[in-house]
Structure 1
């Protein structure tokens, strides 16, 4: 089996590591982003809520009392997070924010919905801007801060130096970029050519420009498809 580097924020990295270890892999965790909640005003009751990540769901929906409120979630894992918080009216969309837009437009026009997208300080695709461009009432509300962590523990550095890591997993474009920036700041971009990179989507893969041994991406943006790259 493989030795796998998981670069997700620690709250997400731990359950991912458990799944990989159950599959027989050795896991090393190196979070590239730290998630910190921020205070925000809860959107008015007449607005449907969009969540495009587990953090957006976990931190954006935690203090919302009306569990029947319409939630539009990108991907099944984000939807599961909303359901775990007790929400019962959850519409699950495809695995990317861009792919979710047609569903939101259809509901926005036919049902005259207003939307609030709950997410972090950095987003790769602004759904609210796209919806507003189509005449839909939509806004973006920041519910957490994602801080870059451009450093590696001594253990992670040693594993990369010795070529012990077979594959690094990347779930977001920003995490991929931060990882390469961190390696460059250490002056050790050569670490990358000792391992493969596995990405959740083509958009994530496009953000990797370093000298990796290989860069692969999941056919569909799901963790199951990502894990299949380890075979």
Structure 2
């Protein structure tokens, strides 16, 4: 098609998306807005304690990757935010995996349907910064969530020169955004590079309204929000758009 799509996902999440985009006929370039770091556990807590835990919550594939670096335990049920995260959990060896196929609000609904708060704690391996407070959402219903920081997402400090060239040369026609923090980082980098005016022919595709809100300060050709907060829904929006 000759239409280049900018993939802003972290390197850890880019491989499958790149393959799908290329299969759909798009050219792909990369500017990961976040890099993922998996630090060692602290010396005073060298292992993950799952005593009293009835299920594990994964809000990203990186949560799966972080947990499996530190624990061989695969016996607990998994409650995953979406299908991609659920797929990563199954590939890591978890047998009982439920997917909310959506966002954190859908995940909260899945938890209340599948899990009784009387049966134990929910363990949530997470990033230092999280998009949404699942614990607060569920506390009123009696759920106790042990959120454990196991990885960090560091914001990029610059845009690659090929990406800047593609934006100025109008070869990049669309940018995919999967999280509010990714969108925030992109806005900051566009301002830092003084390239805010290079997006008038570029369409932003956002996984949710919360992502769209972070991009409002930039002059896009158009901002499209996915009908559902899933990768496949977002890619359907891309396929159906005129870019």
Is 1:46 matched up with 2:52?
Answer: yes
Question: What is the TM-score when the length of structure 2 is the normalising length?
Answer: 0.89
Structure 1's unaligned 5+ residue stretches are none
1:106 Cα deviation (Å)? 4.6
Q: Counterpart in 2 of 1:132?
A: 139
| 1:38–1:142 CA contact under 8 A, matched in 2 | no
C-alpha offsets along residues 97-124 of structure 1, whole Å, 9 cap, x if unaligned? 1222133235553652311111111111
Distance (Å, rounded) in 2 between the aligned partners of 1:221 and 1:196: 18
Q: Counterpart in 2 of 1:223?
A: 231
| 2:12–2:62 CA contact under 8 A, matched in 1 | no
1:73 Cα deviation (Å)? 0.8
Q: Counterpart in 2 of 1:192?
A: 199
Distance (Å, rounded) in 2 between the aligned partners of 1:230 and 1:137: 39
Structure 2's unaligned 5+ residue stretches are 42-46
Distance (Å, rounded) in 1 between the aligned partners of 2:181 and 2:232: 21
| 1:120–1:142 CA contact under 8 A, matched in 2 | yes
Q: Counterpart in 2 of 1:152?
A: 159
Q: Counterpart in 1 of 2:84?
A: 77
| 2:117–2:142 CA contact under 8 A, matched in 1 | no
Task: Find the residue that maps to 1:194 and give its secondary structure.
Answer: coil
Distance (Å, rounded) in 2 between the aligned partners of 1:88 and 1:45: 20
Q: Counterpart in 1 of 2:37?
A: 36
Distance (Å, rounded) in 1 between the aligned partners of 2:34 and 2:159: 12
| 2:199–2:219 CA contact under 8 A, matched in 1 | yes
Tell me whether 57-66 or 218-227 shows the greater mean CA deviation.
57-66
Q: CA RMSD in A?
A: 1.7
Query: For 1:4-23, what aligned pairs fall within 5 Å after superposition?
Result: 4-23=5-24
Aligned residues: 231
1:207 Cα deviation (Å)? 1.7
1:76 Cα deviation (Å)? 1.0
Distance (Å, rounded) in 1 between the aligned partners of 2:135 and 2:225: 27
